[in-house]
Structure 1
Amino acid sequence: MYISELNLQGFKSFAHKTKVGFDSGITSIVGPNGCGKSNIVDALRWVLGEQRPSLLRSSAMSNVIFNGTAKKKALGMAEVSLTFVNDKGILPIEYSEVTITRRLYRSGDSEYLINNTSCRLKDIMELFMDTGMGSDAYSVIELKMVEEILNDKNNDRRRLFEEAAGVTRYKDQRKRTLRKLDETRKDLQRVDDLLIELRKKTRSLEIQAEKAEKAKKYKIELESLDKGYTLHEFNKIKEELEPLQERINNAEKEKKEITVAAEEFEASDEKARSNLQDKERQQAEAQRRVSQLHNAIREADTSIRITKEKIQNEEKVIKEYSKDIEQGEIDLKELMDLLANSRKNLESFDDDLEKSSNTLEESKKQYSQIQQQYNRERHELYEIEVQLSSANNELNQLQTKRIKIESRLENTEGDLERIDDEIVDLNDEVDNLNGEQKIIEGKLDALTEERDGLESELETAREKRESFAEKQNEIKDELRSLQSKKSSLESEIQLMNELASSNEAFPSSVKYLIDKHRFEFKDLTTVSEVFDTDEKHAVALEAALGDALNFVVIKTLDEAKRAANILKENKKGRATFIPLDQLAATYDVMDGSLFDQVKSKREHSALKQLLLGNIVVTESVEDAYSKLKSSSSIGVSYDGEVVTKSGFFQSGSKSKNAGIRVGLKDKIEKLEKEQAKTSKEITKLEEYLDQIVEKYEKLDVGNLSQNLKEKEQEVRRLEQQQHSLSSKVQVYQKNIGELVNRKDHLKTNEGSAQEELDSIQPKQKELQTNMLELDKKQNEKKDLLESLEEERSIAQTRYNDAQLQHQDLKNKVENHERDVRRAETGINSVQSRIENRTKLTEQSKARIKSYTEQVSSLEEELSANQELKVEADDALKKAEEAASIQRGKINEFEKELKEIRRRKEVNMELVHHLAMAKEKMEMQSQALSDHIWETYGILMKQVEGEMPDDMTTDEVKQRIGWLRQKLNNIGEVNALAIDEYKEEKERLDFYEEQIDDLNKAETQLLETIAEINETATERFNTTFEEIRTNFRQVFKTLFFEDDNCDLIIEKDVEDPLEAKIEILAQPRGKRPSGISQLSGGEKTLTAIALLFAIYLVKPSPFCVLDEVDAPLDDANIERFAKMIKSFSEDTQFIIITHNKKTMSKAEMMYGVTMPETGVSRLVGVKMDDVEDAA
């Protein structure tokens, strides 16, 4: 395999399209200095993928494009193509001829092609990897590289061995694997940090969810038992009421019969006593008076008993409310204690938080101080290393200078020419270093700006994260409030819809007409549907209209009659009809009447005037009586108490559903609108919550912090590079000045060369002494830096721990603040309940007071009647004595009349007893209905539930009390915790799976690295031993058999692939302490010996040598040329040279000229043709 062709266009000085053909043997390229010979070597390096402008002798990659001359314009593109004959299949590609092409445009765009097919730079690098033909392999050797290989500053020597051993691909693979391992460990760290937070949050939510599940379970059981028990008690009362009502009806019937019999008997008695005249009249009068007083006393006594029973009932109610109030106060005390404890905890955390902040600031300050000291010491170490490097360079220069004076004293012109070349090279190197410095400055400015931006972004992200967390809690609280409101609205709408659809509030006759025959009439409706008013006047309007709410409003009198006939035919009872065509056009309306507060359609205006024009709304009953004394109006209070025209007072307990029937449809529409509005608000809030959660999760604070840390490290690295480049520039500039001085010295006084040789020796000793001192200082600084590194690591660990502790305290403070808010909410709720029960207790006490006053009044009345009765009894006795003769005849009649009266008294007692029992049951029934409405927002008829078969009534009641106590102990719960726990648990499971995958990936990567290290180390060691053996043979061939040489690899290192390789070379008669003390020719031969030793192990298909023979004398040139010739059978050589002996070994020669300034030309000739022509 060999290079068959090189094509250049627009590359450096080759402006024109230039084709260079090669044979498989030796090709030499010659030409004067500055004509562009080395540009061919640069073209070869460039097309093989070289990315370092400095190795192409340029400050920037764009400089390889032809930049124009005084006569030629600059080109916009550089292109180089290199063709190989792949007859041995060394390149891992199926083609026998392979052409690689590289193009670069001034815009910065570039192209890579293999056989005119577009590809990546990576593809080209992998194509030549481990073949010895890469851009930085041992296939291209320049004179300055000889020094670099021998000095091994940049591990150039190691790369030659790696390329020969074929481990470059392994090291590249290891590098990628290590990068993946680092990324995997970073991912592991991030996921692990996230898992810590997730586990903490999930555990908290799990506890809340368990609490919510338990509360939900208790509530479901409580609701089921409570409904079943309440329904059972309600039905039990209902079942007892039916026979009780029947008994009341029978007693009333008996009462009527007794009354009729008594009246008939008394009429007969009147007729029988008509002849008694005055005595009878006196006796009857006395008897009537006694009877009246007796009845009055009995009625008063009965009223007293009834009122006292009412007082007892109210006292029972007060007792129940008192228990509820006591329980509320207990709950309130517990909540107040919780609030106080939470606030106390908050106060206790204030000092801890302040101490934590101080600790954090102190640890940060300590870390900063140590870091500053570390940077100072590191800078001082760097300065020592610069001085050491400078001294070493100066020592090397003195050695080189001495050798050149000794070997080239007879040929000063040659020395001057080489000095000129060195000055040009050093100037080029200075230009390259200045270019690299500018690039680094640009990168440093950009990185500094990125670092500052990341710091700002990190701070902003942390603030946003805290803000988003607070916002989530606010939105969730608002959502719970809206969902509660929505649930309440739905219950209210359901109740009203059921009332509207069932029409159960109407009498059966009106209900029948509405349900069955409404469609037969054009505008059949009811008064309750006609009118509508605001919530303030609804109860008053309903109370004022009373039974009129059930009146049927109909268009005409004929339709009213037809509707009445339907009721008659179907025997559905009676109804009151209001034919609109029979109403007057208008009716009188009082100022301030209810008429002004009620809405209706225009066609019902007269009806509204008729029914509401004389109804006045007042604040209380007293106001109604005072306002209506001189009018025939009706008064009604806002609470629904009515004062009639006659001055009658209608009042009593107000139903929970009072006012609901008026404008029911409009109320439903308003509630539905409110419900829809609430639903939209909930949806909007849920979407907003999702957005906030998404934004919260997107804020990757850990990643930003890591990026900031990496940026800071990169800034420090670039600053160090910048310092290093600046020092190199100073060294190179100093070297340039020394070379110029040396050149002037050689021109003016050649005879002073010997004196200069004598003066070099003391300088060398002085430099060596300085270098020993500097080396000692360097080691001391390194030891100090290692100690500081440990202190810095400890300080950084303390700083990180302080940060974690401070953040943990902040989280605890936030938790206690949430406890305070929950306790305050619970306190408000309990206080509201206590206030409600206290208000109801006061109302019951007021009623007890009223009943007590009634009892007192009745007892006074009873006492007065008893005194009057004593007097009446005396009068009756006198009358009876006077009329005893007359009454003797009707003795039997009296007995009968007495029996009737006794029966009447017994009947009255029975009616009273039954009425009291009924009233008590109705109150119990209403209390049960009120409990269902207040607790569940439904009517009793909507209750579905049964008593458990395996529990008695007492057991159910006891269980209900136990469940209520449990719920009180649990307290408030987070209703969303169950769903939130499921979501967080899924996230936790997902990340735990991820961390398992990452751990497996880390293990696999470590196994891969170990396998790569093992394989690469084995191959490297084997190759090294082969090269070592070959080096000894080749070195002795180029020098002498008894010369000493060897290759030594560093032992006992952590990574054998990074071990240092030392070259031992001691030509006969010399015992230099290092390679640097060899002459230029000896160095070159040593490097060539190493190169050919490598070729014996793994020959490169081609080898480019750029003026490496320049330091050799004629004898060594002969050996060098002979060695090249022997190796040319397996390796193609392309040699750039000025030496005629080297040229003579070439089979083809190219001459590079520059007929036009800045533009190179190429002329080729085959040496065989020249010899034939001769």
Structure 2
Amino acid sequence: MYISELTMHGFKSFAKKDVVHFGEGITAIVGPNGCGKTNIVDAIRWVLGEQKYSILRSGKMEDIIFNGAKNVKPLSVCEVSLTVHNNKGKLPLEYNDIEIGRRLYRSGESEYFMNRTPCRLKDIHELFIDTGMGSDAYSVIELKMIEQILSETGDDRRRMFEEASGINKYKMQKRSTLKKFESTRSDLHRVNDLILEVEAKVKSLSLQLKRFERHSKLLDDLKTKEIELAFIQTHAYKSDLHPLNTRIAELNHLRDSNQTEESEVEKKLISFQSVFKSQQDELERYRKQLNDYNNSRESLQSDIIIWKEQSRSAQASLDRLLLEEKKNNQKSKQLNNHLVDYRKSINSLKPKIDSCLNQFKQKQIEFNSKDDQLKNIISDLDIMQDKRWELQKKLSDKKSMYDTAGVIINEKRNNTLELNNKVSEKRIELDSILKDLRKYQLKKKATLKKIDKNKINLNINSDELNKLEKEKYNIDVNKNKTLSSLDALDSKNAFYEELVNAAEGYPKGVRDVLSNKNIFKDILGTVGDVLNVDQSISSSIEIALGDYAKCIVVKNKKDAINILEIARNRNSGRIMIIPLDSLPSVKYVNKSIKSNKNIIGRAVDLVKVSPKYKSLLDFLLGNIIIVKDMKVAMSDKNLKGYDVIDQDGALLIKGMIIDRSSSKKSLGLIGRKKKLSSIKEKIKTENLLFHKLDKQLIKVCEAITNKEKYVKKYQVDLMGLSKDLMGVNDLLDGLEMQKSTLSESIAGSDAIISQNQKDVKSQTILKKSLKIEILKDDRGLEKYLKKIMKTNSELSKIQSTRDNLHQHLQDARINHLNLEGQRENIIFQESTAKDSIQEFISRKSEIIREIKDIKESEKNLKRLISVAEKKLTDINSVVSKQESVLSLKQEATNDSYVIIEEMQAQIRSEQKNRESLMEELKNCELKVADLDQRVNFVSERIFDSYSVKIPNEMIVDQTENELNIGIERIEKSIENIGPINMVVKVEHEEENERLLMLTEQRDDLIKAEKNLLDTIQEIDKVAREKFQNTFDDIGKNFEKLFTMFFEGGRGSLRLEGDPDPLEANIGIHAQPPGKRNQSLRQLSAGEKALTAIALLFSIYQVKPSPYCILDEVDAPLDDVNIRKFTRVLNSFSNDTQFIVVTHNKLTMESANYLYGVTMEKKGVSQLVSAKLD
């Protein structure tokens, strides 16, 4: 797979469409600085999805669009397309050729294409992920990136390793999974909070539901009483309506009789108003005629004034034109005299101009001859100078080579002596390093044993810590549940305390007695308080008791009478009292009952009381049987003679069934205090449980704290041991590197000594041959210098003569131009005078025509003024006549107006009488409307409140006042209940369903959280293995390639810092032969370049990139290292396509294809290609 074609249009300096055809192997791109070579590299990066404009060497992304040049307009869009030949099938598409395109507009809009079909940037990234072809992959290396690759931070270096190991897709999966995990954990916390909130809400709604049911019963009673009250009120309103309707009929009769008399007067008034209207119209017509005559008179007066003014203006214009004609005749005579003088001056200048022109032509011929002679000598001198400089350059190069040969001989001899001394020192140092290696290898084994032991202890304590944290979580959950239960019980406790304290459900008198026990000291309680009933049958017992449940229990009649007297004095209200000593004996039905599934039991057996209340229990419930189903009980002959009640509230008494289930809801009067006591006992139990859980939590937290200390201790110990092991490994690596370096250095030094001896011999021979050539070239250079001096002398003489001739030529040209200028000026003045004379002649004829027109106009104006003055006299007489007629008509109209005013006064008087009658009628009608409105208001209020109409007939036992008191009591009871949620039943059902749904969601989220954690661990495991294996392979390759590039030395890779390979830093250790540098910063630019290239090709050996772009990375390398570099390029070119931007001739020689970038037009790049065999 390789890049087969790159098309650029409008990208940076490539204004026109340029196509680069790449082949397999090595392609070199060459050209001078600033011509646009690197723009090709930027185009490849950009089309592959590069988003950072700084990497593209731009201030903003729109700067990559061609911005124009001299005589070339800027473009509004740029486009680059890249064709990849997928012959090896590395890309997951079924095409052999895949074209990737990108287009950018100046508006900032960007488009991406794949095989000319619009796509997303994400699609392009996913296509090239882990192929080594992405915009940020290791396939593009610039010279400036060498420092970044070898920097101490190593972020760019790590990206290269991650791309090579193919873990980018795993990192993307992990990031995506972590986002889902965080989202799931957040959702889980939110759902747990919601569950606690909804549980509390459901319990609260249950209490509200009971209040709602009680509120509904009170509303039904209120509805009945309000309808009865409305019936009484509407009946009273209708009784008041009859006398009012009778009076309205009488008033209507009086209004009709008065209206007849008034209509006759109105008819006369209408007749007079008609006459008055015709008089007014005639009067208006005369006024209009008079206005028309006045307007005509004013118009004629205005026209006469205007025409007289125009006549005076015409006379003034006539005087002005006669004066202008006289002045023009005088100016014309003066100009004719000037024309004669101009012609004489032109004739006198002609011979002078001809003479000057002949002198100029003669001097021009002499100057041209001498100038040609000068040019020939200069040309000969340039040829001699070129030959002299060429010979002098050769001589200088040979002298430089001669001096260099001498320096090399001295350096090689000194270097050989120095190397012999160093080799002996290195052999001693090598023996010392071997001893240290054996010592640190033993230390490494001991440290590894300690690390294994520490890991076992850490795992044991970590497992125990996890168990304690799970136990803490369970205790927290139980505490929250207990706390929620306490909140619910507190709400119930407050509710029942309010019921007991307020005696809710009891009559007003009973409530007064119960709330003032210090006054009513002899009471034992209510019937509901002394009976102890199971919750399952409490409603049935309460219905069976009826109003007895609200009775107060006392010991004897005396206590009862005392209580009644005190209550009467306090106006407490109605009270029912049962004295225990006055209870009649109860006759039990002497009949055994056969037990069956329907019978629950005898009421007296199911209700528990204190022995002193046994007679009360027998009196109230002596012969009552509680059953499950009344229908079954009615067919049971064993129950004959008993009163029966079922669980739904149906009561069978002496053969009659009373269904109290719909009208007599249980008020909870039975067992209130017992229920309150039970709730308080539960609160106490839950508090004890809460304190117990709190103590357990404190104990577990202490255990967790202690266990965390142990885990932290083992982690610190493990980190310390790992650090010790890393230090030992570093020392061993350093010693191994030193050992290898010394061995290689000794062998390299021997080779260099041998090479130095050969170089000294060859340089001595070269020095002798150069000395002979230098003497020969010196003699040739002296000859050329003599010829040049002679030619320069001749050139100076001819130059002086030629300059004098040129000065004379310029003087002659100036004299000739001055004379020509004088003649042209006189000719221009002559032409101007002729034009002025012609203008005066034309203006004279115009003046004559204008005088004639003005005289004709003045004659017409005088005629118009005479006619207008005559018309004005006639109009004045007509106006006087019209004014007298108008005055008579005005008097007749005024008389009619007086008569009409008198008749209208009579009508107004009659209307006033009628209005008083109408006022009374209106008041009666308003009273009727008010009563109707009251009836409607009451009817509408009842209909709006209860959606029923007030019946026409109804029997009401109570008075209006009694009904109002009853309604007031019911409303007060409703008010005591407080605000009621009218949709509590629906909300209770909805919240219950929501609670179930949230519980299911929580279970699903817990499962999802576990699955995501397993996925992340699996991704980490696979990515870690792939990265570690790739890193090991690259490290081995780097050691070999580093030694090959530097012909010795030591290079290695290692993971530093974090023990996790995916998080650890990648360190590079590089020591060229003979150097002991401790940092990559101490390397020269060439050594850094070779180290980075060695690392790059080490990666290619593990995972070859389809292509590699090297932008001037060979710039710091000398010729020897360039040859090594090109050998490596050729060896890798079978698997990788290389595109090299270079200035080096040796790199160009190794290329299969050569592209030249030129800039014939400033700012516009062009391509020239060549295939090299």
TM-score in terms of structure 1 length: 0.39
Task: Please say which structure displays the higher CA radius of gyration.
Answer: 2
TM-score in terms of structure 2 length: 0.39
